[in-house]
Amino acid sequence: MLIDNGLAVGGTLTMTANLSQGLKRYGNHSIAAVFAVDPRLAAPFFKGTAELRYLRVPFNYMSRLSLKQFFDRTPGLRLVSKPGRFVLNAVGRRFNAFYVFRLARYLRRVKADVIHINSGSDPIVAAHDIDVPIIMHLHGMIPLDLDPRTRRLFGRVTRFIAISEVVREAYLKAGFDPGKVSVVNNFVVKTEPSSQTRGEARRSLGLDPGIDVIGIVGRVVPWKGTREFIAAMLLVAAKRPAARFLIVGDSSESPPEFVQSLHEQIAVAGLTERFLFIPHLADPGVAYRACSVLVHASIEPEPFGMVIIEAMVEGTPVVAANFGGPAEIIDDGVSGILVEPRDAAALSGAVLGLLEKPERAERIVAEARRRVEERFSEAAAMKSLTQVYERAIRDQAVSSGRDA
């Protein structure tokens, strides 16, 4: 059983679907998947490998974000922001009682051997009286000030999976059992590039096939560095007057004023016609294939960087902020380029360097593909994941007294 409570099409949903495909291919397992994303958007990712169930989560992280913004922006409430949000979060969780009830009923019907949670703590509540191992897949850093309720719920988890060493380190700093966590890197289902050419990909997006295209792919939220990407690309635009810039990603998690500020940032420079915003692509690979260079510009520690390995597969060189997971993926100067976060000059310089030296870009692309095949392939991940499942089943049997 795979569970993902994420609300947007992003790395977590992609990995949930990749897990479904991998488990089906390498073990012929029967998969059931529960998700909260619009099923019209989510279903194609699973490619028929799982029984799918959509369950809406009434009080989710977007609800919590809205509460935070409400308290932070309302005069007179800032002083009680933290305790006020705590009270309202507690009340809000009661709205999820029906979701927990429906999920628990579904879990009992499916009779899964393993419950694998990719996001959210409510599924732990739903599974509390079911004698099945619970795997919590950590796609982000556990904060040091994790709330007591979630900390207690995490105590019920049989095994944890961290998607990178940096996520594992955050887990340990938060004070959790080092013996219960394993690192299983995110992976790509296929390691061969699409047959679609770069020119064809650009035409499909309405772009001239002969121009330079630099893009960023991922949720359009402040910490993903969209503003910093634009600042750097304004510098690139001055040197490459024919270049175009892609911003591909869902902005529904961001305040409208943040998204508006991005458009204003571009408009002030007089370059509106050279930037293309695309909220969603049925095949994100089209964006990677269209780009001469892909940028990953997070300004906070990135747990992994799924788009990096996806771009590597498609033969697109990557320039990434050296903050968190990307440093575990990229061998700087060999399989990609790492730059300091928030450094527009360094970012633009790295991009221009690849555009001006295509032979270097080709060497980086070749090494990047080799790295993906060795470290981030489906086969390698399924081998590690199977070992985690087997250990979790043994641990659960011991804890429930079914095995000495």
pLDDT tens digits in sequence order for the chain, 404 residues long: 899 877 667 778 888 999 999 999 988 788 988 878 788 888 888 999 999 998 987 766 555 666 666 666 666 655 455 565 566 666 666 778 888 899 999 999 999 999 999 988 889 999 988 999 999 999 999 999 888 888 999 999 999 999 999 999 999 999 999 999 999 999 998 888 899 999 999 999 999 999 999 999 999 999 999 999 999 999 999 999 999 999 999 998 888 999 999 999 999 999 999 999 999 898 889 999 999 999 999 999 999 999 999 999 999 999 999 999 999 999 999 999 999 999 999 999 999 999 999 999 999 999 999 999 999 999 999 999 999 999 999 999 988 776 64
| Amino acid identity for residue 126 in this structure | A
Tell me, which fold does domain 2-58+96-187+378-399 have in CATH?
Rossmann fold (3.40.50)
Can you tell me the distance from the alpha carbon of 80 to that of 237, in angstroms, rounded to the nearest whole number? 45
CATH number for 198-375: choose from 3.40.50.2000, 3.30.360.10, 3.30.70.80, 3.50.30.30.
3.40.50.2000
Contact at 8 Å (CB) between 315 and 369?
yes
**And the tokens for 341?**
């976060």
Exposure string of 193-227, with b = 16+ CB inside 10 Å and e = fewer, is bbebebeebbeebebeeeebbbbbbbbbbbebbbb
CA 254/CA 252 separation, integer angstroms: 6
Rounded distance between C-alpha atoms, residue 296 and residue 312, angstroms: 12
Six-digit token string for 233:
């690309």
pTM of the model: 0.87
Residue with the two structure tokens 């999920």: 103
Q: For residue 28, what are the contacts with CB-CB under 8 A and spacing of at least 6?
A: none
> Measured between alpha carbons, how far is 294 from 309 in angstroms, rounded to an integer?
11
Q: Which part of the chain is CATH 3.40.50.2000? A: 2-58+96-187+378-399, 198-375
